[in-house]
């Protein structure tokens, strides 16, 4: 018997742990949704609460008890076998709302309920008050009235969702400008992928703009449908965007990151004449060496923008210009003097010992 109890408790513990994990994941996912989604009424309506209720329902089923008995078993509390129940009705209707509400209330009274819950909070306050007064007059003291104030269609949420969508659209314009700038300098596969990425984003943004316009005209259902279509397309666009950044390194630094941690000989001192630059290999990285005003400077060789070969660029007094798109970097510390690169060029520490130029990554 004790063994059976132990097995039962172990099964119970595993189910609870497993479902707890599912719930944590669900909560994490909802928290990570973009602000626009969070503001959307469809998502905002207590997804986490629904999951919580569904999980506990499942736990009770696994335990073989009614949910109220399972909760009492775990957390203690009242021991009454009687469970109060109420009837739910009074959902909002587009037409004949009050007539429908009254008919529903009479029906549940006829069924013998002594507590009834109706929706509230989804209409202007005056309209909601009228519904409540009507409900009270029908119930006439024969049943208690409870209000469920989490109704869909709340005006404040709708305004917030429309506002958030407008902010998102303004942000999309900025993102389009920077994306177009990046794309204009790509070639080959990156150019094709960027084109698909851009076209999908334009389609998604057009759908969001349609959604925003529909919401302005109080067509919230159509607006929601357009926004969901936009989200679906934006997910596809995001996949191509991720490919551009992570696989093709567009929009991130292309400068080599494998620079030596310790001083490492890279070139004989006499091989680098005054006011010249050259490419040299150190470990797994290429570096640009420049001698100017008697001093040797070293930068990562591949341009941070799209990997252009800096040693083939133009040497100026105190700077080097990339041959591909003209980004200019200071020799002294690698900072960007002129774009399009938005990333500084990694700079190395340099010393000359025993006729050798030695470099290491800056601390």
- 204 CB-contact burial (10 Å; exposed 0-12 / middle 13-18 / buried 19+): buried
What is the C-alpha separation between 56 and 295, in angstroms, rounded?
72
* 119 makes contact with ligand FES (CB under 6 A): no
Site size toward ligand FES (CB under 6 A) is 12
Distance CA 102, CA 68 (A): 31
Return the residues of window 43-72 that contact ligand FES according to CB under 6 A: none
Is 253 among the residues that bind ligand FES (CB under 6 A)? Answer: no
Quick one: which segment of 54-62, 117-125, 127-135, 299-307 binds ligand FES (CB under 6 A)?
A: 299-307
Q: Which residue's CB is nearer to ligand FES, number 197 or number 305?
A: 305
Q: Do the Cβ atoms of 146 and 200 come closer than 8 Å?
A: no
Report in angstroms how near the CB of residue 338 gets to ligand FES at its nearest: 9
Binding piece for ligand FES, criterion CB under 6 A, among 11-19, 104-112, 230-238, 304-312 = 304-312
* Contact between 308 and ligand FES per CB under 6 A: yes
Helix axes 47-63, 67-75, angle to 10 degrees: 90
Task: From 113, 115, 124, select the one nearest 151 (Cα to Cα).
Answer: 124
x-or-dash string of contact with ligand FES, 322-361, rule CB under 6 A = x-xxxx------------xx--------------------
Taking the least distance from each CB to ligand FES, the nearer of 92 and 324 is 324
Q: Does 158 bind ligand FES (CB under 6 A)?
A: no
Q: Beta partners for 302?
A: 309
- Please, what is the minimum distance in Å from the beta carbon of residue 321 to ligand FES? 8
- Nearest to ligand FES of 204, 310 (CB atom): 310
Residue 361: phi and psi, rounded to 5, are -60, 140
Give me the 181-220 binding string for ligand FES, x by CB under 6 A, dash otherwise: ----------------------------------------
**Could you write out the three-class secondary structure of 163-187?**
HHHHHHHHHHHHHHHHHHHHHHCCC
User: Cα dist. 214→155, 156, 171, 220 in Å?
Assistant: 15, 17, 19, 7
Nearest distance from residue 324's CB to ligand FES, in Å? 4
Number of residues that this document lists for the chain = 363
CB of 313 to ligand FES, least distance (A): 8
Q: Residue 299 or 350: which CB sits closer to ligand FES? A: 299
Q: How far is CA 187 from CA 21, 183, 288, 306, 327, in A?
A: 45, 8, 24, 10, 17
Identify the residue among 305, 319, 345, 348 touching ligand FES (CB under 6 A): 305
* Site residues, ligand FES (CB under 6 A): 303, 305-308, 322, 324-327, 340-341
């Amino acid at each position: 018997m004790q063994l059976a109890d132990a097995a039962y408790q172990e099964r119970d513990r595993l189910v609870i742990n497993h479902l707890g994990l599912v719930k944590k994941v669900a909560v994490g996912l909802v928290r990570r949704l973009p602000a626009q989604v969070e503001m959307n009424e469809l998502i905002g309506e207590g997804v986490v609460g629904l999951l919580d209720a569904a999980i506990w329902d499942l736990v009770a089923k696994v335990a073989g008890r009614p949910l109220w008995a399972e909760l009492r078993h775990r957390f203690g509390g009242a021991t009454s076998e009687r469970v109060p129940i109420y009837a739910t009705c009074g959902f909002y209707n587009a037409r004949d709302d009050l007539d429908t509400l009254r008919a529903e209330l009479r029906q549940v009274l006829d069924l013998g309920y002594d507590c009834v819950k109706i929706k509230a909070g989804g209409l202007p306050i005056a309209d909601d008050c009228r519904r409540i007064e009507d409900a009270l007059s029908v119930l006439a003291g024969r049943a208690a009235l409870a209000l469920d104030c989490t109704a869909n269609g709340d005006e404040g949420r709708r305004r917030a969702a429309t506002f958030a969508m407008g902010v998102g659209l303004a942000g999309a314009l900025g993102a389009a400008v920077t994306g177009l700038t990046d794309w204009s300098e790509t070639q080959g596969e990156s150019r094709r992928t960027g084109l698909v990425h851009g076209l999908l984003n334009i389609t998604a943004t057009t759908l969001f703009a349609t959604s925003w316009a529909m919401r302005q005209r109080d067509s919230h259902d159509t607006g929601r449908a357009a926004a969901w279509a936009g989200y679906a397309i934006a997910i596809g666009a995001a996949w191509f965007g991720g490919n551009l950044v992570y696989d093709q390194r567009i929009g991130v630094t292309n400068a080599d990151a494998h620079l030596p941690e310790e001083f490492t000989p890279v070139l004989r001192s006499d091989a680098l004449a005054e006011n010249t630059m050259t490419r040299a290999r150190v470990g797994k990285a290429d570096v640009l060496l420049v001698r100017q005003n008697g001093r040797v400077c070293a930068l990562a060789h591949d341009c941070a923008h799209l990997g252009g070969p800096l040693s083939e660029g133009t040497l100026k007094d105190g700077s080097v210009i990339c041959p591909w798109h003209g980004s200019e970097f200071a020799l002294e510390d690698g900072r960007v003097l002129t774009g399009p690169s938005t990333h500084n060029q990694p700079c190395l520490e340099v010393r000359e010992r025993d006729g050798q130029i030695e470099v290491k990554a800056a601390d």
